[in-house]
A and B are shown apart, each in its own frame.
Chain A
Amino acid sequence: MPETDTTLGGARRLPWRTAEVRDVIDETPRVRSLYLSVPGWPSHRSGQHLDVRLTAEDGYQAQRSYSIASAPEAPQLALTVEVIDDGELSPYLAREVRAGDRFEVRGPIGGYFVWTAALGGPLFLIAGGSGIAPLMAMLRHRAAVASHVPALLIYSSRTFADIIYRQELDQLAAASGGPRVVHTLTRQQPPGWTGAARRIDRDMLAEAGIAARAQPRVFVCGPTSLVEETTQSLLALGHDANLIKTERFGPTGALK
């Protein structure tokens, strides 16, 4: 039956495609966004990731997974990479790569940590550090389709200079119908900072967050400790475990 073919045949084995770097943007001293053009790239949904494979001159290959930071509607695919000092791929991607360079990607991957405007809301996003990347794809998607789903981002960074996408987040928040954005700075605050200055905790989620009774779709992405603590706090505040989706940082790419 043709319908069956479409459903099952649609998810074929993913081919590797050549990505060309069109632009690099330094987001913070340790974080860089790469804008890629990938001929043949099928559309993704916000929250999905892709695999990056680098091949050295002698044929040596290494592969890791990265969240897609761009909206499906954007003309180029964006990755936002933080340097892991001891890492194998991230120092190359976040320091060495320049426009015109080419490497391979395959994807999109994952259908679980995904939000599309059609799923509705409210949309409650909680990010730590570079865990903002897949959530930014959701906010960019929401803006691109002019969704009116209420949206809130609580975003924890170490210092003001470590806030990724700071200007774009300001612009999104200032736009009519834009998301509410709440920053917290855990290590150091600039003079005159009036925002939160501690790790995301239960009190912050209760005061600034979307109440459980509104049944928001919650996405949490960041270091394991932030995800664990936030999830526990959200459950204690009465949020439905089935509406909370989490993505912890980890050696995912190492899963060959």
Chain B
Amino acid sequence: MQDPPIARGFRGRRPPAANDRIPPGQHLTSDFPVLSAGPTPTPRLESWSLALQHGGALLGKWTWREFEGLPQTRVKVDIHCVTTWSKLDTNWQGVTVDTLLQAAGLSEPPQPYLMVHSDGAYTTNLPVEDLLKGKAMIATHYEGKPLSPEHGGPARLLIPHLYFWKSAKWVRRLRFMPHNEPGFWESLGYHLYGDPWREQRYAGD
């Protein structure tokens, strides 16, 4: 194949200088880009609830008021989107998944995998152990303010050690599964696990 012509003087967005907090193939952004697989729902806190489900059984269900009353955790983390932006030192507040399981009276998870279900029929799959020991939370605040709808408010999953599509916006239901099944993007060629440090963007990576 013939080489493409060089666009004189074009540099584009260069990869950043090495930074041990930026995974391979990522670049830093100061914005918070919005990526949505569907329309932004209008939050109605009166009818909002979060459910924890195992097979046909409901293990726990919280109204907004109940959920707000659970012990809160604050974290400062770096986030990495598969579309190659990374953002450092973001501040979140919410309820850790450990706290949630505790509130449901579970001493240990009943199954090894979890499907996260959101408004708009978005789903993403995760190994349960990646959600425990403070590694993930249901976040309701970003930088000290209630999470805006376009960033997933009233509540989104936050699991910063995986690519950000795993941090499902508008989360409503966590469903335990015996096997790892692909969610919305995972069934369309994206990686089943999505570790940014191993650059697991796509199936086969």
Contacts and interface: CB of A to CB of B under 8 A. Distances in A.
In the complex, is A directly touching B at CB under 8 Å? yes
Contacts of B83: 254
Interface in A2-28: 16, 18
Contacts, number: 44
Contact of B13 (A57, A88, A103): A88
Contact of B5 (A55, A86, A88, A96): A55
B24 to A, nearest CB: 16
Contact of B4 (A88, A92, A96, A104): A104
A103 B9 CA distance: 11
A254 B13 CA distance: 13
A7 B128 CA distance: 52
A89 B10 CA distance: 9
A53 B4 contact: yes
A229 interface: no
Contacts of B12: 54, 56, 60-62, 88-89
SS class of chain B's interface: helix, strand, loop or mixed? loop
A56 B5 contact: no
B87 to A, nearest CB: 15
Contacts of A158: none
Contacts of B13: 62, 88
A54 B10 CA distance: 7
Nearest to B3: A55
A244 to B, nearest CB: 20
A56 B4 contact: no
Interface string B1-18: 000111111111110000
Contacts of B31: 86
Interface string A80-104: 0000001011001000100001111
Nearest to A53: B4
Contact of B10 (A16, A18, A55, A86): A55
Contact of B7 (A86, A92, A254): A92
A95 B83 CA distance: 26
A96 B10 CA distance: 8
Contacts of A57: 6
Contacts of A96: 9-10
A55 B6 contact: yes
B9 A16 contact: no
Interface in B1-48: 4-14, 31
A55 B4 contact: yes
B4 A101 contact: no
Contacts of A254: 83
B2 to A, nearest CB: 9
A60 to B, nearest CB: 5
A176 B11 CA distance: 47
B66 to A, nearest CB: 37
Contacts of A86: 31
Nearest to A20: B5
Interface in A171-208: none
Nearest to B2: A18
A57 B10 CA distance: 8
Contact of A102 (B5, B11, B14): B5
B171 to A, nearest CB: 25
Kindly name the residue among A54, A86, A254 whose own CB sees the greatest number of chain B CB atoms within 10 A.
A54
Closest 4 pairs between A and B when the two form their complex, measured CB to CB: A102-B5, A54-B7, A55-B4, A103-B7
27 contacts: A16-B4, A18-B4, A53-B4, A54-B10, A54-B12, A55-B4, A55-B5, A55-B7, A56-B6, A56-B7, A56-B10, A56-B12, A57-B6, A60-B11, A60-B14, A62-B12, A62-B13, A86-B31, A88-B13, A92-B7, A92-B9, A92-B10, A96-B9, A101-B7, A102-B5, A104-B4, A104-B5
